[in-house]
C-alpha cells in the first residue's frame, strides 16, 4: 500500500457551518469560509477566517435575549 503524504497543493475555499461549544451554550456560525484540500478533503481555517470566526462568535455570545 502506498503511503504518500498529502501536500495539500490543490485547495479551494468553501463555506461551511461551524458549531463552537462555548458557555452558556453552543454557538452556531453559518457561512464560515474554510479551505478544503481537493486531494484528501482536509479542512483548514486560514488566519483571516479564524479572525472572522472569533468576531462572529463574540457577537453571537454577546447577544442577549
Binding site for Zn ion (CB under 5 A): 6, 8, 37, 39-40, 42
DSSP state of 51: H
Rounded to 5 degrees, what are φ and ψ at 26?
A: -65, 145
Q: How far is the CB of 47 from Zn ion (least distance, A)?
A: 19
Q: Minimum distance from CB of 19 to Zn ion (Å)?
A: 23
**Paired strand residues for 34:** 14
Q: Is the dihedral of CA 17, 20, 23, 26 positive or negative?
A: positive
Nearer Cβ to Zn ion (42/58): 42
Nearer to Zn ion, 44 or 59 (CB): 44
Amino acid at each position: 500500500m502506498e503511503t504518500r503524504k498529502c501536500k495539500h497543493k490543490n485547495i479551494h475555499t468553501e463555506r461551511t457551518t461551524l458549531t463552537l461549544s462555548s458557555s452558556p451554550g453552543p454557538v452556531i456560525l453559518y457561512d464560515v469560509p474554510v479551505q478544503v484540500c481537493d486531494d484528501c478533503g482536509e479542512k483548514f481555517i486560514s488566519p483571516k477566517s479564524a479572525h472572522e470566526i472569533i468576531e462572529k462568535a463574540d457577537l453571537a455570545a454577546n447577544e442577549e435575549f
